[in-house]
Amino acid sequence: MRFYATMLQGSEEYSRLGSYDVTDKLKFSTQLHGGFGTATFEISVPRLRGSMLVHQFIGAECYVYDEYGRNVYEGRVIDADKSGDVVKLSVSGFYADGKHIKVPTLLWQDVGTTTGDVIRDCIALVPSWTNTNGIYVHYANVVVGPQDTDEEIKVNDMIERMLKLGYRTDNLAPAYFAIYQDKIPRLKIEQYSSYPNFFVYADSPSGNASSGLTMERLYNKVYVLVDDPAEDGVGPTLFPTPAEDAASQQRYGVREGVINAGEYGEDLGLDLRDLALEKYAYPQQSFGLQISGMVRTNGGSYVPNYVIKAGDTLVVSNMDEMAALSFRSGDPTSTLSGFVITTQYDASKGTMKLDLSMGDRKMDYLLSRLGLEGGLS
Amino acid sequence: MAQLFNLKISDGIDTVDFLNTGEGCRVEDGGFDIGTPNTKRSFGVLRPGIGMQTQVTQSHREATIRFSVYGSTRSDIINSLIKVQQILNSADQRSKTGRGNRVDLQYSWEGAGKISYLEVYAGELITPGNVLSVENIHAQVGSYYVVSGLVLKLWLSTDAYAISVRSTTMTDIPLSGAHGSNVTSGLTVGNTTDNYAQISGAAIDGDTPVFTKIIVEPGGIYSEIYEMYIGLSRAPYATDKIYDSKNLVWNIGGSTVSGGYGGNHIERSWSSTIPYSGFYADWAWEYKNTVGLFYAFMVTTQQITPSDSISLAVGFDDYVTYGIRQVGDYYKPKGSLRGVPLGVIEMPPGPQELANKGTLHEDLWVGIFVAHNGDAGSLNMDYLQFLPINDGVRIWKVRKATLGAGQAVDDGWEGLEYVSGSGKIWTPWYGLLDPIKLIPGADQRLFFKTIGTGSEHTRQIKVKVKYVPTYRTMVE
């Protein structure tokens, strides 16, 4: 497969930066938050056209296509280093444009302001982003009320602050902001449905798949400290009944933890206790794999592996026993499903490295919403 | 015409013949070696137990000519070597700057039908260590001074061509389509179901994809065309490529009004929000005629307003029946253009082998997915179109508001993209991806899709195609 980069400086109609075959040295990534991450490639100086000067690349918009016209990466050139007859270009996805736009003060004063309102307004603040609601943005509805933006907060920080609160009031799934094709913002929701985007085969069941497990934060018997706000002067007390996972205790031994629910009362405190057990009863996991062939879409078509992006869901079909045992997703009914957090593609080898999220982060989001950072101890 | 044994290098100014019988260069017996293309391959896994090639790069091939130089005087010998070096300098200059004369190696066996021309990318003249020794300088064979043991190492193109790399005399290809048969003077090509130029496999000589020159005459509508997509697909051809809005279920709503492809189109305006997806067609009953890789377009009768508040994607959905939902990347309309490129989609969305076994996904619908920011707007949907690109695609983008009056030329052979008219040349457009390369011996079609202002479904252009017979082995 060949890859081509075209660079546009300013308006397309006056651009003379041309289109180049960049297959040999092309690498690009996607990530969450962010969408298109970074890309690097090289162009030999004799291929530069007309009066093109190297410095003109800086700031140019860069679009990378495969030989069938798939728009596989886009971003802005941030570094151009000439060495001998070669110019090495580094490109950053358009998400980075939001790092340089400050959020105006007093923008959100309504008590009913939601995360969706804030993100939508943030999108409109960045000139290079496409001002649609993107995909799913308008569904984000966690009420955040008036937002204090006196500080020097930038658009990206504000968006990420909102998404720490999860996706929706009725759906605690983690949500990530991403800018993909045509600079269109979207939210990528970490949840598992009957529509995984891709089915993949790891290069070898164990050779290029890596999984990590740690018991460092494993708690299978969880207590909660609750504090009744109606009773002034009485400190938090330990609720006597813990939440327990017997299977975990049998396998890993009893590991007790305590969570402080602050002044949110007993009912919420018990919810927190149960969520904490769900999250921490088993070893925390990480999973990565490398693929170098085609991948199968939800519909069954074979497509090149570089079309996978951070935010896609996938099913790995040839896990070996060890990898499969350790591969536990948020959805217990699809134990081989994963949510892609980062991708790294190397065009010279045709290999795609994927980092997958296994974690259920409902509790992290609930704690953030309640202002209770820290978790178990 | 039967050729003599032929071995030369030339930059169009100087030529060195290695088969001299008198003065000049003489290849030694068995002194010419030419290798196979330098190839780098990567492999991966398609499915368990089945591998696939994921990447192949063929950069060049190498050749060596071992030869002697004969001269009546020692000066003749030195001048022969200078000529070789000057030709190599031309190749170096071309490689460094992209300018200057191209150098080729001409080669044919005795009795061969044609000469093979390979481009010389670089060369190195290797002389024996004692080339300037007293012994060498005084050596004579008959009446000639002779320097022997010279080696010319060449780095060449992977392919051999039937014409010199400096020649622009290409072979016309007869084109057939909805508006003519075996036309070489310019076949009329439309923008809907009549958007193709068919080429007989017998018309293309060669054994590897051939360099092609595509000439487009937009006539009076040169100012309408902002983008053009050229797809290549060999037989059998997809025949169902248009999904007309008037025949479709339109989940987004709207009303049917006259105008556009097929006589009617759908109009829809909104004040705040519209459904997330719509414009579905029951696709399954057509699948056997619509198999392959396509570039998708949504076509409107008017500009989408406001064009910067909406984005669109093409996809499939079976409404949960069998869990098939495939949505492509989202793209936004571009200004006043009536066509919206939506990227690449495979039809059917599954292995082709399954489509051959029976009706596949009978509940499957193809359609448009919509994202927008809630601003009031309108959309006049005319049709959804698929451009076959199984064997390649080339994209033209017009920089300025007009393509230009004249002939728009996409010359893969010379690597040039321009418009020619009234003896003047200008470059209002640029090409994305490689120029199209046609496939020798295969019946194939070039499919065209122009995007611009004016009426999308009635737009026509005239097309001519030329090529250079190209061989991985030897020209015949």
For chain B, domain boundaries? 6-165, 169-470
Provide, as residue numbers in chain B, all residues whose Cβ is less than 8 Å from the Cβ of A16: 399
Asked if residue A125 lies in contact with residue A101, where contact means CB atoms within 8 angstroms, the answer is yes
Distance CA A310, CA A339 (A): 8
State the virtual CA torsion across B177, B179, B184, B189 in degrees, nearest 10: -80
Cβ within 8 Å of residue A121, ≥6 positions away: A107, A108
Distance CA B328, CA B280 (A): 15
Write out pLDDT tens, residues B374-422: 788 888 889 989 999 999 999 998 887 788 889 999 999 999 999 999 8
Under DSSP, the state recorded for A316 is E
pLDDT band for position B165 (cuts 50, 70, 90): very high
Under DSSP, the state recorded for B432 is E
Distance CA B118, CA B107 (A): 8
Q: What single letter denotes the amino acid at residue B317?
A: D
8 Å CB contact of A182 and B346: no
Whether the predicted pLDDT of A330 surpasses 60: no
8 Å CB contact of B372 and A12: no
pLDDT reported for residue B320: 62
Among B207, B26, B205, B9, smallest CA distance to B107 is for B9
Nearest C-alpha in A relative to B417: A18
Write out pLDDT tens, residues A340-368: 889 999 998 888 998 887 655 555 655 66
Asked if residue B177 lies in contact with residue B193, where contact means CB atoms within 8 angstroms, the answer is no
8 Å CB contact of B343 and A71: yes
pLDDT reported for residue B20: 87
Mean pLDDT of B53-69: 91
Cβ within 8 Å of residue A66, ≥6 positions away: A1, A2, A3, A4, A72, A304, A306
Whether the predicted pLDDT of B193 surpasses 80: yes
Whether the predicted pLDDT of A53 surpasses 80: no
8 Å CB contact of B44 and A203: yes
> A291 to chain B, minimum CA–CA distance in Å?
7
Query: What would the two tokens of residue A228 be?
Result: 């009744």
Start-to-end CA span in chain B (Å): 10
pLDDT reported for residue A181: 94
Q: Which of A24-33, A112-121, B251-260 shows the lowest mean pLDDT across its residues? A: B251-260
pLDDT reported for residue B250: 62
Q: With H, G, I as helix, E, B as strand and everything else as coil, classify residue A309.
A: coil
Write out pLDDT tens, residues A179-216: 999 999 999 988 766 677 888 776 655 446 666 667 77
Write out pLDDT tens, residues B429-455: 889 999 999 999 999 999 999 999 889
* Chain A, chain B: beta-carbon pairs less than 8 Å apart: 171
Nearest C-alpha in A relative to B341: A69
pLDDT reported for residue A209: 63
Asked if residue B26 lies in contact with residue B36, where contact means CB atoms within 8 angstroms, the answer is no
State the virtual CA torsion across A98, A100, A104, A105 in degrees, nearest 10: 110
Provide, as residue numbers in chain A, all residues whose Cβ is less than 8 Å from the Cβ of B373: 120, 131-133
pLDDT band for position A176 (cuts 50, 70, 90): very high
Cβ within 8 Å of residue B83, ≥6 positions away: B14, B16
Fold of the domain spanning B6-165: Elongation Factor Tu (Ef-tu); domain 3 (2.40.30)
pLDDT reported for residue B270: 79
Query: What would the two tokens of residue A310 be?
Result: 């951070």
Which B residues 89-128 touch A at CB under 8 Å? 95-98
pLDDT reported for residue B358: 75
| Residue among A68, A303, A347 minimizing CB distance to B389 | A68
> B52 to chain A, minimum CA–CA distance in Å?
7
> A277 to chain B, minimum CA–CA distance in Å?
32
Whether the predicted pLDDT of A150 surpasses 80: no
> A47 to chain B, minimum CA–CA distance in Å?
7
Query: What would the two tokens of residue B293 be?
Result: 């890789």
Distance CA B217, CA B195 (A): 14
8 Å CB contact of B330 and A186: yes
Give me the residue label for tokens 């934060």: A217
